[in-house]
């Protein structure tokens, strides 16, 4: 589109001012806001820009000085971004595909029983121990839909920073179910992060405390009935941490940048040339 303007004062267009108002000023103002922002974990959670360093832990017991409530806020932000941000969603997808690919298959072979001649002979029998173990494993995988559960496991691990899986002893085969990390909490004094540790060893878990979402009561579950898979922290840290936390702010910036770039492209394609003519009127042009 070509816009021609005549010589009268009312028809003149300041080309430089127009370009600054439409294109340059919003970008400059956005950069200025980013440069003036200060670093804090609250800004990462709230979506405000920040350019500083993340808080550093003294030791794993203090867990980056985050409380259980703040950990929930971090998980909530990660979950919202995994839905609203196509960039973050694809990051989690690539993490999952890299770790697990098309899935994991676990097989049992007679060689796993060792070189004992009795065991090897039994393994060749039609009603052997190996056959029973294979049949039980297939039943367990089919009942718990392990082909899908493993994919969900990795996705939850990266998105939430941790996975809790509870084992239930059922008649035909054990049943496993995920526990939302938000419900691993306790009102018991001395039980931090919903996990009861040995007083002399932070790596030894005695029991987990689970909050009932219906009546807000708490129930303790033995350590052997729960799998706690943590991500993004040291081995002696009580809780896991979402892998995307350090880049939450950058992901939001990239999402905004893509929107701004698309708007800029639309403006550039709509305005081909703006030309001013001096010494003549609008009608003659």
8: confidence class by pLDDT, cuts 50, 70, 90: very low
> Of 156, 164, 174, 273, which Cα lies nearest the Cα of 208?
164
> What mean pLDDT comes out for the span 101-117?
65
The whole-angstrom separation of Cα 45 and Cα 30 is: 19
pLDDT the model gives residue 256: 85
pLDDT exceeds 50 at position 67:
yes
Quick: pLDDT tens for 173-197: 899 999 999 999 988 887 878 999 8
pTM over 0.75: no
pLDDT the model gives residue 233: 85
CA distances from 135 to 73, 172, 224 (A): 43, 12, 24
Q: Which of 42-56, 166-180, 243-257 has the highest mean pLDDT?
A: 166-180
Higher per-residue confidence, 131 vs 116: 131
The whole-angstrom separation of Cα 279 and Cα 138 is: 88
> What mean pLDDT comes out for the span 13-41?
50
> What mean pLDDT comes out for the span 210-216?
85
Window from 7-11, 113-117, 219-223, 243-247 with minimum mean pLDDT: 7-11
37: confidence class by pLDDT, cuts 50, 70, 90: very low
Rg (CA), the chain: 30
pLDDT the model gives residue 144: 92
> Of 98, 43, 101, 45, which Cα lies nearest the Cα of 71?
45
Q: What is the mean pLDDT of the chain?
A: 75
């Amino acid at each position: 589109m070509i816009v021609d303007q005549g010589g009268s004062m009312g028809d003149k267009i300041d080309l430089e001012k127009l370009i600054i108002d439409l294109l340059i000023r919003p970008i400059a103002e956005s950069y200025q806001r980013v440069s003036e922002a200060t670093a804090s974990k609250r800004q990462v959670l709230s979506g405000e820009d920040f350019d500083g360093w993340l808080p550093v832990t003294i030791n794993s017991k203090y867990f980056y000085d985050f409380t259980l409530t703040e950990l929930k806020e971090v998980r909530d932000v990660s979950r919202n971004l995994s839905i609203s941000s196509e960039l973050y969603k694809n990051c989690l997808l690539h993490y999952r595909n890299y770790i697990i690919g098309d899935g994991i298959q676990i097989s049992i072979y007679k060689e796993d029983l060792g070189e004992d001649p009795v065991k090897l002979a039994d393994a060749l029998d039609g009603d052997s121990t190996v056959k029973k173990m294979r049949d039980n494993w297939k039943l367990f995988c089919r009942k718990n839909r392990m082909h899908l559960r493993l994919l969900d496991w990795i996705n939850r691990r990266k998105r939430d920073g941790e996975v809790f899986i509870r084992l239930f002893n059922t008649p035909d085969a054990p049943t496993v179910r995920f526990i939302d990390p938000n419900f691993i909490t306790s009102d018991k004094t001395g039980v931090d992060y919903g996990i009861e540790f040995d007083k002399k060893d932070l790596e030894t878990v005695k029991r987990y405390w689970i909050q009932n979402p219906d009546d807000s009561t708490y129930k303790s579950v033995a350590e052997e009935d729960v799998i706690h898979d943590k991500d993004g922290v040291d081995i002696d840290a009580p809780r896991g941490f979402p892998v995307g936390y350090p880049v939450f702010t950058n992901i939001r910036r990239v999402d905004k940048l893509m929107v701004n770039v698309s708007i800029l492209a639309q403006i550039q394609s709509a305005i081909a040339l703006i030309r001013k003519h001096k010494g003549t009127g609008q009608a003659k042009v």
